[in-house]
Structure 1
Amino acid sequence: MTRVFCIGELLIDFVAENQGSDLSKAMDFTKKAGGAPANVACAIAKLGGKSSFIGCVGKDPFGSFLLDVLKNENVDISMAQRSKTFTTLAFVSLAEDGERDFVFNRGADKELKYDSNIKKEFERNIIHLGAATAMLGGALEEAYGHYFFDALTKDSFISFDPNFRIDLWKNNESVFIKKCMPYVQKSHLCKFSLEEALLLSGRDTAEDACKVLHEAGAKIITITLGKEGTFVSMETLQQTVPSVKVSPVDTTGAGDAFIGCLLYQISKLPNFNTIFDNASLLLKMVEKANKAGAITTTNYGAIIALPTLKQLEA
């Protein structure tokens, strides 16, 4: 089975308890492991796949806690780094429908340094670039670009999720778009929210957005639509795959569960090119990935809510 390398942030989510969308009124918080790339790595490992995490946490109790969580989920953390800078924190509030609001206190994730020794590990494996903080400058952005180039030279299957967070990019959306487009142009699979697809394309509908992003170079595009399912687009296909009905309590990690499950299925293929020539296979994979995302919303926290293969197939 192919290995999936997930590159980016690993952080602490402090989730407000018994609280609506107004974070300023929250009094009690629960500590959870978070960070989109780490969530994806755990989603793959919980399904029985092989995943490695490449990122940086602080040399503090929170950093130790985070690495222990990944290790306990059977994620390879041998390529993770630790910094004297304090571990990145995010404070999260949940509305009644499970939607989230974020405030970031950025720390060690930005300190990730490029390791040229990792390049050889990428050969014909899957590289997932899904960090919300990767375009914000610093060592992480530089390492991110290096690993992206390495993946291109090692015949890797490249997955890209921009993980746009408005709190990180207020009044700087044009910079975000400019920095994301090289990844869109060269990635085999792009996973977007509808907001991200419309922002990056400058269009008003998923169909028109995909046309622009395909012209830029994206091969397969999935646009997650929450309870409505996922819009799938490739050269020979444009179709919405419905999701399963659930009663969501926390949408944190749903998109990561989706892309993790999709990459897990791709990792089992004997040849990555199979997915480009078989639309029906892709749709079946997305259907299963939708289920993984839906299951994740029925529990609090991201990693703890990710389904096992047994739960997914039940």
Structure 2
Amino acid sequence: MKKVYCIGELLIDFIAENQGNDLSKADVFTKKAGGAPANVACAIAKLGGLSKFIGCVGPGQFGSFLLGVLEDNHVDISLAQRSKTFTTIAFVSIAEDGERDFVFSRGADKKLKYDSSIKNSFQDNIIHFGSATALLGGDLEAAYGRYFFDALTQNSFISFDPNFRADLWKEEEAIFVKKCMPFIQKAHLCKFSLEEAQLIAGKTNLEECCDVLHEIGTKTIVITLGGDGTLLSTENTKHKIPSIPVTPVDTTGAGDAFIGCLLYQISLLHDPMQILEDIDLLKGMVKEANKAGALTTTNFGAIPSLPNLEQLQAIK
């Protein structure tokens, strides 16, 4: 089994209770652990995979709480760092259909320092670049880029999820797109939401989006479409993989559950590059990942809602 290294933010999600999707009306919040790379690491570990988290949290009880959540979910936190800066916080509101609105207060996540000693452990393993905040500058962006170079030189299987958050890139979407390009060019697997695919490709038609993204360089694309399933695209073929019917209450972490489940399955392969040649294998993996994403929407909070292997296998 390959190890999966997940690089980026671990933060506190303060989820607004019982007021829909308007944060201005919220006065009661529930504290949850969050951050896309941390969610992915937990998704992999809860299914029985080997995940390691690389990121930075702040001092005090919030930082300890977050690292404790990862440990409780069997994620290796030996590469996590702590900063004197306060732990990053996201305020999240949830509409009746489970869709979310975010406001970020950035802190320690941007303080991640590059650790050159990690490079050799990337050899022949899987590296997931799925941070929502990693392209915003600071130490984190510098470390992110250097780890990306390390992954390229260590024969790693590279996964990229841009995790676009509109609140973080107001009127600077073009900069976000530009910063995504090197990752899309070199990644073996790219996961996009519908909004991300259209933003980065500059197209509205999904097949045209895929063609543009393949031209940039990525070999395998998955575009998650919520209840409509996932569009799987390679350079030679495109397939719509259906999801399972659920009644969503909170879509937070659904995409992370999806890519986490997909990477878990890839980590079981002797050679992860096999998915680039075996489309039927990949279609089956995406079908399972769709289940993981759907199940995660049926409860509140990303990490507590991530399915374990028994729950996943119970869905036929």
Q: Which letter does structure 2 place at the counterpart of 1:227?
A: G
1:19 and 1:44 mapped to 2: Cα distance?
A: 32
**Offset of residue 292 of structure 1:** 0.2
The residue aligned with 1:284 is 284
Q: Deviations over 1:102-143 (max 9, x none)?
A: 000000000000000000110000000000000000000000
Write the letter of the residue equivalent to 2:79.
M
Residue aligning to 1:151:
151
Q: TM-score, normalised by structure 1?
A: 0.99
Contact kept in structure 2, 1:57 and 1:86, CA below 8 Å? yes
- Equivalent position of 2:22 in the other structure: 22
2:196 is the alignment partner of 1:191: no
1:173 aligned to 2:193? no
Letter in 2 for 1:89: I
Where does residue 85 of structure 1 map in the other structure? 85
Please say if residues 99 and 250 of structure 1, whose CA atoms lie closer than 8 Å, have aligned partners that are also in contact: yes
Q: Deviation per CA, 1:232-291: give whole Å up to 9, x if none.
A: 000222011000000000000000000000000000001122111111110000000000
Please give the residue correspondences for 1:116-265 in structure 2 after superposition, counting only pairs within 5 Å. Answer: 116-265=116-265
Check whether the contact 1:236–1:279 (CA below 8 A) recurs between aligned residues. Answer: no
**In 2, Cα distance between the equivalents of 1:212 and 1:60?**
46
Partner of 1:99 in structure 2? 99
Runs of 4+ in 1 over 6 A off after TM superposition: none
Query: How many corresponding residue pairs?
Result: 314
Q: TM-score, normalised by structure 2?
A: 0.99
Which consecutive unaligned segments of at least 5 residues does structure 1 have? none
CA distance in 2, matches of 1:71, 1:32: 15
Query: Hey, what does 1:52 align to over in structure 2?
Result: 52
Match of residue 2 from structure 1? 2
Whether the aligned pair in 2 keeps the contact of 1:93 and 1:101 (CA below 8 Å) is: yes
The answer to whether the 8 Å contact 1:44/1:51 transfers is yes
Secondary structure of 2:142's match? helix
Distance in 2 (alpha carbons) for counterparts of 1:160 and 1:65:
27
Classify the secondary structure of the residue corresponding to 2:27: coil
Gaps of 5+ in 2: none
Q: Is the Cα contact below 8 Å between 1:7 and 1:54 reproduced in 2?
A: yes
CA distance, structure 1, for counterparts of residue 7 and residue 99 of structure 2: 25
Aligned with 1:101: secondary structure? strand
How big is each residue's C-alpha offset from its partner over 1:56-99, in whole Å with a ceiling of 9 and x where there is no partner? 00012100000000001000000000000000000000000000
Q: Give 3-state SS (helix, strand or coil) of 1:176's partner.
A: helix
Measure how far apart 1:204 and its partner are.
1.3
Partner of residue 300, structure 2: 300
Asked whether the equivalents of residues 45 and 75 of structure 2 are also in contact (C-alpha less than 8 Å), the reply is: yes
Deviates more, 1:265-274 or 1:157-166: 265-274
**Partner Cα separation in structure 1 for residue 107 and residue 28 of structure 2:** 22
2:221–2:234 contact (8 Å) kept in structure 1: yes
CA contact (8 A) 2:230 2:242 kept: yes
One-letter code aligned to 1:34 = G
